[in-house]
Structure 1
């Protein structure tokens, strides 16, 4: 699934660009999905669900934190979420999102967060016990109508709504599966959401199609994707703002990161190819090709599990658990995977103790040459007493000999 940044960025910049809308057939409701996956079809298992060990992570979360009270809620800002197999708690329509749901992106992302199991029992959502808050901020990213596309003002309006309702609705995570250009109002809205205690997750950016206006912003002529000098960090937002969990997608069978952009603001990555979610026909579908939007939905689901496991954590502490257990390193993040691919089971089970500001104390291991070896205990000396006696007798004998030598001349004169 391609991230619809081209149309969104043009809308924000005030330019015009005609984008042919994709064909959404009832049995092809995720962007670029396997059309064989239709309603009621059992289909193939979700590859990212399997590869990330989500079943084991869910088991830990449920065993340590039995569901009681309000479930963790995740706000999905996008073109709308179709309820049913995806548990929608509340819906809010902002700006250009009025009307029927036309774009499957919101439903797909929400399904990856909390979609119910399929009829045959195969899993879909990473955190199926969570609930979705559907915040509709645009209608169709592929539309020719500017007012229907994603825009920074409409996204800002939606984020402010999330911040205002965060306590009331117990919203812990918000996910933005699309990108727009930098905007002062958007930056302020992101800060307001963060101050409300909500973790904001955003897609880091899919590679735009050749010929689109966005494609001119990045170097696309390199044959080796890892050698490209591009950086979407200063271009795509809200992923580019401080404190936002910017998520890239890994595991592309078409070539390492062929469909995603390098982004210096990337925090973590997650595989998305062949992820199973739900579409606008209520059936399951496959995510193909790789998609940073889908990866962002998966990470939002992992964060929901983490917050269920650690309900007393603050937002920075939960993010610290996610980042510090990824398979890379926080000391040397990369523009493709950040601190690495998320490891949900490790994040839920590793005994970290992040501070309120998200810092994690590092354990310093002393190198072997610097470590002091213990002094060995001396062997018991069974002849020590005999040697001591011999020394004393020697000293006494020597003393008597010296006295005798000194007295010999005196005694000799007396005899005369």
Structure 2
């Protein structure tokens, strides 16, 4: 299914969760105040709910990622944000993302993801929704409802179903049916299988940029990833080998910028995004607010950012785009963090920065000229120093011997005084 749908520095995202406003660095409240989005919670809306309460405020996730500024840079380059880029959403379905009526889907999960990436704006009051409004979204559902929402006769995320979808996408890439800059986003986690790993490798080799969620913590009664279930992360937790397809080579694994106990610790994370604060579409066709923190929503946010950046840098390969995103992320320069990877994506920096000279992992390579080896100098005191060393060793050895023999000599002297022969 094809659905055609009509964002240089990272801001603080603390207000996404706990504050009433969002401030950009260097700006005062009077000049840069953003009202946090308020409206129905996306996951709590059912298809039968009346459309009564519109979203108010701003799409705070987009503001935190400085998407409007990225849109401005894209416009300067003569590009519509996301235009010319295809985003394949491999999830529970995005049917109805561009409609005003109820969606026939059984779960809002994929719909929320699609809305974050390229959903239509809310007209009244006006609120921006999709990060990459010019992107072309392709629907490739592989399940009906997430784990924990099981119903009779419906599919939950399974490795074999995901494998089949990824193989189909790869075949379309190879046949030319799906060409040009292509992003494949999988905002869900499944268990690893050898055949799934091969399917992921083939998709990456086809030239698509594959983005996946680094993993959310399963419920305590969930049999999936049971060792990670519970309310908190165990000391030393690392789900890098167990969460797929994020664990695949060449896959951009996405975590959240402010990790909570609800997301898995994963040393394979490459990039991060707020994972909350977005405005999207609900099952009743209305607009809603994402208030939960999830690596699933973060993956959608990174996919949207990637589409915007790729629409400007159309000549980039998928690998070059990944290097661009990682090399301009907000993390430190010492390498990837086990919680947020190279840091939070920064679309403005990614658009403006020249990736020439970046290292293999994306970060700018520090080129330091090799120092010349200084000419060896003559050591005028070498002989004296060598003699001093030997004298020191000899004197030290004699001192040790005297200290060892002193008690023995003292005992002999004492014994000789009481046993005098006549």
User: TM-score, normalised on structure 1?
Assistant: 0.70
Contact 2:310 2:316 (C-alpha < 8 Å) held by counterparts: yes
Instruction: Look up the match of 1:46.
Output: 59
Contact 1:32 1:288 (C-alpha < 8 Å) held by counterparts: no
Whole-angstrom distance in 1 between the partners of 2:177 and 2:257 = 35
Whole-angstrom distance in 1 between the partners of 2:297 and 2:166 = 20
Q: Which runs of 4+ in 1 moved over 4 A?
A: 32-40, 67-70, 219-222, 354-361
Which 5+ residue runs of structure 1 have no aligned equivalent?
1-26, 88-98, 371-416
Q: Deviations over 1:306-338 (max 9, x none)?
A: 111110111000000100111114643122101
1:169 pairs with 2:181: no
Instruction: Return the offset for 1:304.
Output: 0.5
Question: Structure 1 34/288 Cα, relative in aligned 2: closer, same or farther at 3 Å?
Answer: farther
Whole-angstrom distance in 2 between the partners of 1:37 and 1:56 = 35
Question: Structure 1 363/86 Cα, relative in aligned 2: closer, same or farther at 3 Å?
Answer: farther
Contact 2:327 2:362 (C-alpha < 8 Å) held by counterparts: no
Whole-angstrom distance in 2 between the partners of 1:40 and 1:129 = 27
Whole-angstrom distance in 2 between the partners of 1:102 and 1:336 = 32
2:114 to 84, 89, 110: 110
Whole-angstrom distance in 2 between the partners of 1:114 and 1:86 = 13
SS of residue matched to 2:42: coil
Question: Structure 1 52/45 Cα, relative in aligned 2: closer, same or farther at 3 Å?
Answer: same
Q: Deviations over 1:246-290 (max 9, x none)?
A: 101124xxxx52321100111111002221111221111111210
Instruction: Return the offset for 1:85.
Output: 2.5
SS of residue matched to 1:189: helix
1:296 to 279, 296, 299: 299
SS of residue matched to 2:140: strand
Whole-angstrom distance in 2 between the partners of 1:318 and 1:68 = 15
Contact 2:183 2:211 (C-alpha < 8 Å) held by counterparts: yes
Contact 1:38 1:285 (C-alpha < 8 Å) held by counterparts: no
Instruction: Look up the match of 1:123.
Output: 128
SS of residue matched to 1:62: helix
Question: Structure 1 58/34 Cα, relative in aligned 2: closer, same or farther at 3 Å?
Answer: farther
Which protein is richer in helix relative to its size? Answer: 1
Question: Structure 1 365/248 Cα, relative in aligned 2: closer, same or farther at 3 Å?
Answer: same
Question: Structure 1 34/147 Cα, relative in aligned 2: closer, same or farther at 3 Å?
Answer: closer
Which 5+ residue runs of structure 2 have no aligned equivalent?
1-38, 373-422
Whole-angstrom distance in 2 between the partners of 1:291 and 1:172 = 24
Whole-angstrom distance in 1 between the partners of 2:316 and 2:357 = 9
Instruction: Look up the match of 2:217.
Output: 207
Instruction: Look up the match of 1:31.
Output: 43
* Residue-pair matches, total: 325
Instruction: Return the offset for 1:68.
Output: 11
Contact 1:79 1:140 (C-alpha < 8 Å) held by counterparts: yes
1:260 to 260, 263, 280: 263
Whole-angstrom distance in 1 between the partners of 2:171 and 2:79 = 28
Question: Structure 1 168/86 Cα, relative in aligned 2: closer, same or farther at 3 Å?
Answer: farther
SS of residue matched to 1:305: helix
Instruction: Look up the match of 2:420.
Output: none
Contact 1:273 1:287 (C-alpha < 8 Å) held by counterparts: yes
1:158 pairs with 2:165: yes
Whole-angstrom distance in 1 between the partners of 2:333 and 2:245 = 21
Question: Structure 1 181/101 Cα, relative in aligned 2: closer, same or farther at 3 Å?
Answer: same
Q: Please list, as runs of the form range in 1=range in 2, the aligned pairs for 1:223-262 lying within 5 A after superposition.
A: 228-251=235-258, 256-262=259-265
Does 28-37 or 111-120 show the bigger shift?
28-37
Instruction: Look up the match of 1:149.
Output: 156
RMSD, aligned α-carbons: 3.3
Instruction: Look up the match of 1:405.
Output: none
SS of residue matched to 1:132: strand
Does 234-243 or 30-39 show the bigger shift?
30-39
1:61 pairs with 2:74: yes
Contact 1:33 1:288 (C-alpha < 8 Å) held by counterparts: no
1:280 pairs with 2:279: no
